[in-house]
Amino acid sequence: MRSITSRLASLAHLAVPLILTFGGVVLCSLGVAYLFVHFYRTVEGLPVFFWLLTLQFLPRPMRGLGLILVGLAVLAVGIWRLSGVVVFPLSHSAPTDDDLVLGYRREGPPNLVVLSGGPGLLILSALGTQVRRLTCVVPVQDPVEYYYRASGLFNMQNVYYVVPTPVPIQVMAELDDGTQMDVRHLALDQSIAARHVVQLRLEGAASSTLQLTRLAAEALRDADAIILGPGSLFESILPNLLIDTLRLALTQSKARKIYICNLMTEPGRTTGFGVADHIRAIKTYGGFTPDYVLVNAQRIDPEVYRLYAAAQQSPVYLTPEEYEETALLPMTHGASRGVLIEGSVVLEADLASSVIQYTASLSHPTENRAVRVLRHDSDKLGMALLELLRRL
């Protein structure tokens, strides 16, 4: 309701011209009506078409009421279409009728919703200064306190964290060898590194009985784009898609759905997955195919590659055997060539950077080791997303 009111409020400066226009249309309509009555009463042998056009087969009160209702409907559609353009006075200090400017399309900063968790949400937080609102829906199994504390540390602007359900719900994963485990523990067990997830489920709650929080529902309804990721596919993105009400809100939303594909496969979760496998997982659990998928195009150096290979991880790149069809997407700097995979337009871009990360093992917690790792680059990813959003 608030969005409808704000849109119609843009017509405030047109109130007088609209009233005068409406009055002129009414007077012209009365004149036409009098001419019709005159011809009907004075001209003989009028064709049947004229009899049908003037609704002579209906009683006069019914004719009048029907025309009024049709006229109001047409008037409402016209006013709504007119409110789709920005109307404002050039001079705010002394507005005059001559200062009105019409015809600029309403193109304000977008409302974005992000479905992810952990560092993925923090990576996109830099977009808060360039959008109207960035709403992060945290995974159903996570409490929201962690994200509020993180946002306070980084002084994020226009970034809001909401939970999908009033209380956290445990999410269980079944691996390809039958092992069942809490999704939050998958990354901690090195013995399952060669495995991958085949099924997710909510523990102790039926998805049909879970109610979506009001803030999450409103954010999804008002979103211009919904971004899935960056983040763990089975731990940060898919758990929320198990909630029936959230999944329904996603499929009914007219917002564009953009998936940010993982840089590397995840041990015990997506081992052996390609781009198409990630998209199919979203389609399986969410009931929709992302409109666009962003995939990192940067090739990593051998040293970093060997480090990930030792942890049974491999880069997630586009491979020719996954291509279904090519697509050309216009961009500011020329055109970007993408491919269709599982119905999604997949675009490659430089989205990552190598960073130095200090790690400690559980057996030697006081000993830190510096290693180079690949991470989504906040600036690169933000630029790629904003460029894509400008073209939607």
Q: Same domain for 35 and 101?
A: yes
Q: What is the CA radius of gyration of the chain?
A: 29
CA 285 to chain centre: 17
The pLDDT tens digits for 63-73 are 778 777 887 88
Residue 379 lies in a domain: no
Which domain-ending residue is among 75, 105, 135? 105
Same domain? For 206 and 341 the reply is: yes
The reply to whether 157 and 77 lie within a common domain is: no
The verdict on 142 and 223 lying in the same domain is yes
354-366 pLDDT, tens digit each: 877 766 555 555 6
Asked whether residue 284 is assigned to any structural domain, the reply reads yes
Q: What is the pTM of this model?
A: 0.72
How far, in Å, CA of 371 to CA of 305, rounded?
12
Total of domains in the chain: 2
As a whole number of angstroms, the distance between CA 347 and CA 260 comes to: 10
**Which of 300, 340, 328, 303 lies closest to 316 in space, CA to CA?**
300
150 and 87 housed in the same domain? no
> What's 336's domain CATH number?
3.40.50.10680
Which residues, in sequence order, are bridge partners of residue 182? Answer: 172
163 shares a domain with 118 = yes
Residues 165/168/172/173 CA torsion (nearest 10 deg): 70
DSSP 270: B
Cβ(270)–Cβ(264) below 8 Å: no
Together in a domain, 93 and 134: no
Could you report the per-residue pLDDT of 222-276, keeping only the tens digit for each?
999 999 999 999 999 999 999 999 999 999 999 999 999 999 999 999 999 999 9
Query: What residues have CB less than 8 Å from 13, skipping those under 6 apart?
Result: 87, 88, 89, 95, 100
Full residue range of the structural domain in which residue 15 is found: 2-105
Q: Is residue 174 part of a domain?
A: yes
